[in-house]
Amino acid sequence: MPDPDVPVALADTYQGIGRLGVAFSGGVDSSVVLAAAQRTLGPDRVIAILGVSPSLPAAERTGAHTVAGHIGVPVVEVQTYEGEQAAYQANGPDRCFHCKDELFTRIDDEIVQAHRLDAVAYGENADDARRPDRPGSRAAAEHRVLRPLAEAGLGKKAVRELARAWRLPSADKPAAPCLASRIPHFQEVTPQKLAQVEQAEAALRALGLEDLRVRHHGEIARLELTPADLLRSATSPLREQVRDAVRQAGFRWVTLDLGGLQSGEFTLRVLNRD
C-alpha cells in the first residue's frame, strides 16, 4: 500500500516501476526523490547511485552515504570521467551537460543491467526546470531519466517541507553545486583547481562559516558568504584566519564579494550577456 505521507502527484510518478535507481548527491532534492521512492516502492526495489569524480568533495561523498543510510537504501558508487573530456575541461555554459551526460552514460553502461533497473530518476525540481542555466536537464532528457519532483510540480519550498516532515538529515542542507561551478566559464577546469577550491571551502567551514562558495580566479579567491558571515569575516580575528586558511589552499589573494551568495552566477552572467 502506498505511503500516505507521499503526495499523490509524486507517488504517481513511480507507478509501473519495478526497480528504480536514483542519481543521488545527498542534497535535499535527490534525498526527497530517494525517500519517496523508498516509501512508494519499498527499500528492496530502490538503489541510490552516487557519481564519484574529482568534482565531488570528500565531505559530500560521506554525507551522501549518511543520508542514504538514514533513508534505508543502499548506495552504489559509479566512477565518472568527465574531467578527461575536452568539452568539460573547456568549461562553457554547457559544462553541466557533459557532466550529467557522462554520469547517465556510466549508469546506463554499468549499473542498469547489473541491478536490473527499470528506470533511473534524478532530483530536478519544478523551479529548476524553469531556469535557463540547467543544461544538465537536457542530458537527462536524452537518457530518458525521470524527473519525479518536476513532473509532480514540486518546487524548492515544497521539497524542503517534505524533507523536514520526513526528518531527512539533508532537510536544511544548503545547495552544494559541484566544485567545477566555482571556476568562471571558458577558464579550464583542472584537478588542481578543484582541489584548491575543496581545500579552501573545507577550511572555511572548519572556522564556522556555513553556506559559502570559493570562486577560483587564478591567484585570487573570491569568497561568497551569507550576510552574517560576510560581516564576521571582515572583522578581526576571523579576518586573518579566513585569509590564512584560503592562502594555504594555494591562492595568493583573498577577497570578499559584497554581493554575497550568487547561485549559478557564472552561467547566468554569460547567458545575460548573450
Find out whether 244 and 236 touch, Cβ atoms under 8 Å: no
- Note the pLDDT tens digit of each residue in 174-227: 888 899 999 999 999 999 999 999 999 999 999 999 899 999 999 999 999 999
- Note the pLDDT tens digit of each residue in 7-16: 999 999 999 9
Show the domains of the chain with their CATH numbers. Answer: 8-165 (3.40.50.620), 179-273 (3.30.300)
pLDDT at 1: 52
Q: Tell me if residue 99 is catalytic.
A: no
Which range has highest mean pLDDT (119-133, 134-148, 188-202)? 188-202
pLDDT at 23: 98
Q: Which residues contact 96 (CB under 8 A, 6 or more apart)?
A: 134, 135, 136, 139
Query: Omega of the bond prior to 177 within 30 degrees of 0, cis?
Result: no
- Note the pLDDT tens digit of each residue in 243-270: 999 999 999 999 999 999 987 655 555 5
- Note the pLDDT tens digit of each residue in 79-108: 999 999 999 999 999 999 999 999 999 999
- Note the pLDDT tens digit of each residue in 38-95: 999 999 999 999 999 999 999 999 999 999 999 999 999 999 999 999 999 999 999 9
C-alpha–C-alpha distance, residues 224 and 73, integer Å:
34
pTM score: 0.90
Q: What are residue 221's DSSP bridge partners?
A: 216, 254
pLDDT at 239: 97
Average pLDDT, the chain: 93
pLDDT at 131: 79
Q: 3-class DSSP state for residue 253?
A: strand
Which residue among the candidates 178, 203, 204, 254 is catalytic per the annotation?
178
Residue with cell 545527498: 26
